[in-house]
Structure 1
Amino acid sequence: MKQDEGNETMREIAQSVREGAMAYLRQQYKVVGIVFAVLCLIFIFMAFVLDAQNKVVPFAFLTGGFFSGLCGFLGMKTATNASARTTSAAMQGLNAALKVSFRAGAVMGLIVVGFALLDITGWFLILYYITVIMLSFGMGASTQALFARVGGGIYTKAADVGADLVGKVEAGIPEDDPRNPAVIADNVGDNVGDVAGMGADLYESYAGSILATAALGVAAIAARDHNLSAPMIIAGIGVILSILGIYMVRTKEGATMKQLMGSLNFGINGSAVGIAVVSLPLLMYLGLPNVWQIWGAIITGLVAGLIIGKSTEVFTSHDYSPTRAIAKQAQTGPATVIIEGIAVGMESTAIPVITIAVAVAISYYLPGGASEPLMGLYGVGIAAVGMLATLGITLATDAYGPIADNAGGNAEMAKLDKSVRERTDQLDALGNTTAATGKGFAIGSAALTALALLAAYLEEIRYGLIHLAHKDTLIIPGLFMGAAMAFYFCALTMKAVGRSAGAMVEEVRRQFREKPGIMRGEEKPDYARCVEISTVGAQREMILPSLIALVVPVAVGLIFDVAGVLGLLAGGLTTGFVLAIMMANAGGAWDNAKKFIEEGKHKDEYGEKGSEQHKATIVGDTVGDPFKDTSGPSLNILIKLMSMVSSCSLVS
């Protein structure tokens, strides 16, 4: 906040984005507040009237949702304050702009881990042994996260698609041209989706992995207090190491994309190595059994996270062949761009799926899962904690992206020197890759977290498993329903984007038609109307997909019993994980194929900005937008929330 925000025009643009972002959050929190009030009343009725659950559950549920929402608010406030300051810093140099944008993104990373640990340890100190109540807190965080991710994804892509299709393709004006009526809504949407939405998503993964591992630790090992606290202490050390990693991120003027990516990776990898070194003596101090094997599970989680991140970078960065192959296909039009992008997305699932499968096997069998299944499940949980231990800096690399993107928009609209836009474009392209990497990391950690939650669910029912022998065939219909849930959920969210984007397209066309002075720079577009369309559309469209995730596990449990719910969770986890990876990576590759052509460094082979090849990649990017920013990331939360709801419903 001490940094210079630039000239009057830059401040005015930034203020418009801030007002739009806060207007969206206020509206979203009103809707989510109503949902939370209804759910809380149901929990109160069950606890105090029916005596069907512990009386602390409603309050734990509320604190989880409150802190998740607070993270979104503070992260959004910081990001929207940082964009013009990043633009101003870019006038001085690339490193100055990177430091402002990245450290602003780090605020999101650190408040997520800070508030999650504050809430978890608060309930831990109050309840100590009653881990079921702590899982109820996780359900509150999951519910808030789903609304934030779905609503934010619909908002940002409705604005982005509207701005691209009418502004860039039909009118032939630059992406952040102030003549585009949807440009402010587009800038707001970047923050809504990738700051508030991603923060709530990973808040929930972080909390869920710690809670599930704590619950499994109680069941697996007699020294329950050490096993309850171990994942929290590891996460706490991860916060300190994340802060150190954040200060390690810096670059030099004229850095290439690989050098910029190396700067970020230096901070991330440094934090991961720190966790690997410090966690072993910590486990020894706590006196856990099989200490070397449990430490091996933590290392497995850390390595799995790094592999998934690198795999995502290879399939989405335009420094590598998969994304360049999409740009090459632009020579024959949008159809082949879309075909190649879907193929790249499908191909990209192999390494993350194999990585998670191997990580699960190692972290299960290494602590002794073959002879003691509960120790094996604890190993899987602690691997998820290890992967998420450095979330403070990992999330910073994702939240920084929309700040850099907004900084570029600010430079374009304020008509600053071309060199400023070139620097912000470098940071923006890097932000696209880190956003894709962050989504891959979020999806991978979601898979491990959901598996740990599934294990916690199994632990809740293990005394009754013997009675399920005659019902095991009910697992099969549950598996099919879980797989179908992933696809149906994606269909709902993508249709929601389509409807909202259609309304945005019509509004932008109307303004161009009725106000011809806009294109001549003589009339000011009605930015507020476009912001309103995205806000109202997102609030309306997010309700049905979000409620389905809450209702379906309960309905399946009532109809098909526990065996059916097991099938539902397993089917949703496996299908949702692969589908989410495919959609996120395909969308990221389409986006960066477009940016690769826009750079114009290889225009003889791939075309340049404004060419037919460029327009073909814009169409591909438009298809990829809801893939990577709405449906794909929302699947993370779907598979985790269903596990949370199942565990809490079973206890109730």
Structure 2
Amino acid sequence: MSENDHELETPERRTHEGNTPTDDVEHHIDLQETPGVVDDSTPQYQEPKVRSIIYYVFIGVFLLLAFACTIAAFISTFLQFPVPDQTWKNTSFDLPMESLFTSMACGFLALFVMVFLSLRVLSFKVGTYEFNGNKCYEISQYIADGARAFLIREFQVLTVFVLVVAGILFAVDQSGYFVATPVCFLVGAVTSAVTSIIGMYIATRANVRTTNAARTSLNQALKVAFSAGTVMGLSVVGLGLVMLSLCYMIFRNLSALAGFGFGASSIALFARVGGGIYTKAADVGADLVGKVESNIPEDDPRNPAVIADNVGDNVGDVAGMGADLFESYVGSIIAAATLGSQFFGSVGVAAPFYLSASGILCSIIGSSLVSVNSSSAWWPLNYLIAPFTRHRSSTTNDTTHATDMEQQTQIDEDQQHAPDVNPATQSSLLMAIRRGIFGAALLNILLGALILFLLFDPLTQAWAIFLCFLIGIASGVLIGLATEYCTSFAYRPTKSIAESGLTGAAPVIIKGLSVGMLSTVAPVIIIVLSIIFSVLLGDFASGGKSGGGIYGIAIAAVGMLSTLGVTLATDAYGPIADNAGGIAEMSHLPPLVRERTDALDALGNTTAATGKGFAIGSAILTALALLQAFATESGITTVSLLEKEVMSGLIVGACLPYIFSALTMTAVGDAAMSIIVEVRRQFKEIDGLLEGRPGVKADHTKCVDISTKSSLKKMILPGLLSIIAPVLIGFAGRQKMLAGLLGGSLSSGFLLAVTMANAGGAWDNAKKYIESGALVDKETGEVQRKGSNAHKSCVVGDTVGDPFKDTSGPALNILIKLMTVIALVIAPVLKQIYVDQ
């Protein structure tokens, strides 16, 4: 099929099995009599290949450069080329060559699998002429073009910022001839940007393919969406480990690696904040005017903001989440390596690299286990993880039952609707995802034990450090389960919010806030216990050295993030499924397609909520480890809460997350108002748009442009606050006030982030609980569905929760980590000014 075949799809050529040609109407295409079975003889529609070629050329050039630098670093290491290191002699270690080879090999393996999965996703068909494949492709291109326009504008702004900061770091760099810190900063920033580009590209290509796959089966749609999510996950861990190892191999200076983390944090902050403002401004504007005021369905093509809403899903939940967890991933390795060098020498530095490398292998295996059909999984591992993949008893049905229902839908050609989103379907999907996550975690525990017992003394060190690693993995799982309980509509907290919608919107807001606040209890207990036991074990392993216990926390953070490749895939697949449902709705495909994509989207909401909890937990452990590394590098020996500098820093630090959240919430509100005004204007001025008159189209590009400009403009102030605050406090108030600032922001930011993320997730799923028809008014016996008063009340709650869970809450993770990374970067300068002199 040629590249121009999509131009052949015209109203004159499209017919419906003996019917007259369809009218040239975008949202009145009649596909109700089209069976849901995919006929292999149906001509398939394929998208042009030019953009795919450009994508692979770009990735190929980047990987070629990385490989060339790796070869140069290997040669330098074998020849023992002297690298000048004029200061901080205690931070230079020659890692065992095995750890360098292992890390680089596993990183490149992840990138190889990433390219393979990209080709696999792109090999799936966009659609068929009979099923309006040209229309689906057209909509997906609107989404891709909007996402690409945002990234281009965002990176134009960030390029200036990155170059200015690199110049400042160059001026104050203390590492000598090779100016290691600014170079590592640039490498970290570029690598983070590349992962965002990869994730955005594949997500905006996979959405339409997921829509087409949903016509075949739920399992096929899951396969496409999850494969695309795995591309994002493996690009983050693969590029992160390759480039971080490369920087260490070249400079052999752990202090310079803080620059890499700073670069990753800078991109993550602006990607998360800018993307969050974009997605929620469009979402709030589209929902308020569309669903509340005009009573039109979600993703209706008449809504001018619907394309901007779908673009925002990719901008915020793919690129933003990927950059966020990329920062946590490399930050945990940097913190563990920096602390390990102080207490265990080169072995302590090598351990986090080895553990991260093993996590990549386990993530690749785990991702292959994700399937609705459990028989496709490797049966011994499937048997071991079965107890962990069961849903609660009231919602459990075996996978075979769900698969049988799915097959029955395909066999019965007269049936136009897929089964409703029911406990059996949702349970089978949740088990499929959990199979991959828990399978990877169990394999990683085995490999981690082998690695640590080979590196450290088995009697006095290895078992303690391994237990820290195990604590990190267990903490991530428990935080995810606690978040799922608070946000899934299978459990009481979210059901209670939906029930409060029967009495109005105000009770929904009140109940949601109370659920969010109470949801902090379990994560706090988990994190506190993890800290206590990790510190005790770390102290034992280090022989009681002062500060040695924090290495246990750093290893726990590495353990929590070691299988990020598959964990991030479960997060990134959600917006792909959401986009697939939007494309199905706007193209007016048969109902079974939308119902299957809705089933995937409902699961995506749950995995996204647990992913946010996971991200928050990993941010806290990473920030704690980085805080200790800052104390070590800056020359702090003791800190007392009774000191005026520390107390002042604590109070200011506790206030910062609230100021930051206020700025991001205000930004979403202002941008949403602009979207609302524009949507109302189009409904008023474009005759026949709201009524759905044939041939009348909304101007989607205007809302996309408003969201892009508003988000890029509004992200600057929160970003500057995150960067300026630690630098100003550090140089004006010295190291102890800065330590207090970091501690205060960490504690208040953690609680506020959990509250916002879980309250927003619970509001969202309360709305979906009503949409599923599960809520019944006990007084009247009436089933509550879309358009009911209870649903409208929960839509208001969901609208409030959108910036909670997708803008302010997730961005607080980066605020906490970025400030600790900046503190670590400026620590040597502070030590030189206030301690050495």
With normalisation by structure 1, the TM-score equals: 0.97
Cα separation, 2, equivalents of 1:639 and 1:373: 25
List aligned pairs for 1:224-623, cutoff 5 A.
Answer: 224-252=345-373, 253=403, 254=405, 255-288=424-457, 290-368=461-539, 371-462=544-635, 464-465=636-637, 472-522=643-693, 523-604=696-777, 607-623=784-800
Higher mean Cα deviation, 361-370 or 291-300? 361-370
Question: 1:122 is matched by which residue type in structure 2?
Answer: L
The answer to whether the 8 A contact 1:154-1:497 is kept is yes
Cα separation, 1, equivalents of 2:593 and 2:242: 40
Deviation at 1:281, TM superposition (A): 1.4
Task: Tell me the equivalent position of 2:160.
Answer: 34
CA deviations over 1:357-394 (Å, ceiling 9, x no partner): 00011111013259333331111100000000010000
SS at match of 1:373: coil
Deviation at 1:319, TM superposition (A): 0.6
Cα–Cα, structure 1 residues 107 and 469, in superposed 2: closer, same or farther, change >3 Å? closer
SS at match of 1:516: coil
Task: Tell me the equivalent position of 2:82.
Answer: none
Cα separation, 1, equivalents of 2:212 and 2:641: 68
List aligned pairs for 1:110-121, cutoff 5 A.
Answer: 110-121=234-245
The answer to whether the 8 A contact 1:219-1:374 is kept is no
Q: Greater relative contact order: 1 or 2 (C-alpha under 8 angstroms, separation 6 or more)?
A: 1
Cα separation, 2, equivalents of 1:243 and 1:517: 51
The answer to whether the 8 A contact 1:47-1:53 is kept is no
Deviation at 1:469, TM superposition (A): 7.4
Cα separation, 2, equivalents of 1:434 and 1:577: 20
2:314 counterpart (188, 191, 195): 191
1:16 is the counterpart of 2:139: no
CA deviations over 1:454-488 (Å, ceiling 9, x no partner): 010111134x536x779932100100011100110
2:201 counterpart (55, 77, 84): 77
Cα–Cα, structure 1 residues 302 and 513, in superposed 2: closer, same or farther, change >3 Å? same
1:108 is the counterpart of 2:251: no
CA deviations over 1:181-214 (Å, ceiling 9, x no partner): 0000000000100000000000000000000000
The answer to whether the 8 A contact 1:471-1:563 is kept is no
Task: Tell me the equivalent position of 1:633.
Answer: 810
- Matched length: 645
Deviation at 1:53, TM superposition (A): 10
The answer to whether the 8 A contact 1:116-1:207 is kept is yes
SS at match of 1:361: helix
Question: 1:545 is matched by which residue type in structure 2?
Answer: P
The answer to whether the 8 A contact 2:351-2:452 is kept is yes
CA deviations over 1:390-445 (Å, ceiling 9, x no partner): 10000000000000000000110110111111110000010001001100000000
Cα–Cα, structure 1 residues 559 and 95, in superposed 2: closer, same or farther, change >3 Å? same
Question: 1:517 is matched by which residue type in structure 2?
Answer: G
The answer to whether the 8 A contact 1:138-1:204 is kept is yes
CA deviations over 1:55-81 (Å, ceiling 9, x no partner): 211111011010001111110000010
Deviation at 1:280, TM superposition (A): 1.2
Cα separation, 1, equivalents of 2:749 and 2:777: 40
Cα separation, 2, equivalents of 1:638 and 1:230: 27
Cα separation, 2, equivalents of 1:339 and 1:492: 23
Deviation at 1:599, TM superposition (A): 1.2
Task: Tell me the equivalent position of 1:5.
Answer: 126
Cα separation, 2, equivalents of 1:445 and 1:482: 20
CA deviations over 1:27-50 (Å, ceiling 9, x no partner): 1101111111111121222249xx
Question: 1:343 is matched by which residue type in structure 2?
Answer: S
The answer to whether the 8 A contact 2:726-2:823 is kept is yes
Task: Tell me the equivalent position of 1:95.
Answer: 219
Cα separation, 1, equivalents of 2:788 and 2:190: 48
Deviation at 1:54, TM superposition (A): 7.0
1:177 is the counterpart of 2:350: no
Alignment RMSD, CA only? Answer: 1.6
The answer to whether the 8 A contact 2:653-2:745 is kept is yes
Task: Tell me the equivalent position of 2:329.
Answer: 206
Cα separation, 2, equivalents of 1:61 and 1:121: 14
Deviation at 1:604, TM superposition (A): 4.7
Cα separation, 2, equivalents of 1:80 and 1:585: 27
The answer to whether the 8 A contact 1:329-1:337 is kept is yes
Cα separation, 2, equivalents of 1:431 and 1:11: 23
The answer to whether the 8 A contact 1:155-1:189 is kept is yes
Task: Tell me the equivalent position of 2:263.
Answer: 140
CA deviations over 1:277-314 (Å, ceiling 9, x no partner): 11111112223551000000000000000000000111
CA deviations over 1:60-109 (Å, ceiling 9, x no partner): 10110100011111100000100010010000010000111011111111
Higher mean Cα deviation, 530-539 or 285-294? 285-294
Q: Percent identity between the aligned chains? A: 50
SS at match of 2:371: coil
Cα separation, 2, equivalents of 1:521 and 1:53: 67
Structure 1 stretches of at least 4 aligned residues deviating more than 6 Å after TM superposition: 51-54, 468-471
1:168 counterpart (291, 297, 313): 291
The answer to whether the 8 A contact 2:285-2:305 is kept is yes
The answer to whether the 8 A contact 2:774-2:784 is kept is no
Cα separation, 1, equivalents of 2:177 and 2:644: 30
Q: For structure 2, which runs of at least 5 residues remain unmatched after alignment?
A: 1-121, 128-132, 374-402, 406-423, 830-837
Cα separation, 1, equivalents of 2:678 and 2:162: 33
SS at match of 2:677: helix
The answer to whether the 8 A contact 2:499-2:775 is kept is no
1:642 is the counterpart of 2:795: no
Cα separation, 2, equivalents of 1:618 and 1:638: 29
Question: 2:138 is matched by which residue type in structure 1?
Answer: E
1:126 is the counterpart of 2:295: no
Question: 1:354 is matched by which residue type in structure 2?
Answer: I
Cα separation, 2, equivalents of 1:287 and 1:564: 37
SS at match of 1:366: helix
